[in-house]
Structure 1
Amino acid sequence: MNDQIDKKLILRESLALQRTTLANQTTILAFLRTAMYFAVAGLSTRNVLQIENSFLIELAFYAISFLILISGIVNFVKHRKKIQENKKHIGDYKLAYYE
């Protein structure tokens, strides 16, 4: 009975890591989408705004877009590394189930 509980716990931990991996991928896509929105805002600023400093606003949008993209990549890599470190703690659940 105790062996069966351990197998269920190992499977639950493995599924939790898969959900965390998918959440991390979703997060990088959200960062990418937001960065693209700011880049598009920068592209359309000069055409929409008829003011003198529209070029500076356009550059600000590009800079914000770049910073969001970089922070998203750093966040993704950092969390991916943590997920990989936690995978070794649950063991090989497939071997435990097929024995």
Structure 2
Amino acid sequence: MNKDLILRERLALQRTILANQSTFLAFLRTSMYFAVAGVSVNQLLEIRDAYIYEYAFFTTSAIVLVVGTVNFFVHKKKIAQSERHVGNYQLDFENKKN
């Protein structure tokens, strides 16, 4: 029974790692959308001060990228700390067995 618990815990950690990576890629994709909007806003809007919108989009893109990167590494550290606790179940099982 405890071996099943260890397997479930490990699989849950793998799903969490994949979810963290997927979230980072979503942040990256959103950042790229804002960057593309910043590049194309000058072509789409025929106004004199279009550069203000370009800078706004580029700034938003940079902020989203930084927030996504920080979020990824913070959660990666938390996941690594959680991973250490999975092996404790196996040690408890062996101690009770003896």
Q: Same fold (TM over 0.5)?
A: yes
Task: State the Cα distance separating 1:67 from its structure 2 match.
Answer: 0.2
Which string of whole-angstrom CA distances, capped at 9 and with x for unpartnered residues, describes residues 29-67 of structure 1? Answer: 000000000000000001110112210000000000000
Write the distance in 1 (CA, Å) between the matches of 2:73 and 2:10: 20
Residue of structure 2 equivalent to 1:67: 63
Task: Provide TM-score, normalisation by structure 2.
Answer: 0.88
Q: Tell me, yes or no, if structure 1 residue 76 matches structure 2 residue 96.
A: no
Aligned ranges 1:1-99 → 2 under 5 Å = 5-91=1-87
Task: State the Cα distance separating 1:92 from its structure 2 match.
Answer: 7.8
Write the distance in 2 (CA, Å) between the matches of 1:49 and 1:31: 26
Residue ranges of structure 1 left out of the alignment (5+ in a row): none
Task: Provide TM-score, normalisation by structure 1.
Answer: 0.87
Write the distance in 2 (CA, Å) between the matches of 1:40 and 1:92: 48
Residue ranges of structure 2 left out of the alignment (5+ in a row): 94-98
Residue of structure 1 equivalent to 2:96: none
Write the distance in 2 (CA, Å) between the matches of 1:91 and 1:83: 14
- One-letter code of the match for 1:52? R
Write the distance in 2 (CA, Å) between the matches of 1:38 and 1:49: 16
Q: Secondary structure at the match of 2:83?
A: helix
Write the distance in 2 (CA, Å) between the matches of 1:92 and 1:22: 23
Structure 1 vs Structure 2 CA RMSD: 1.7
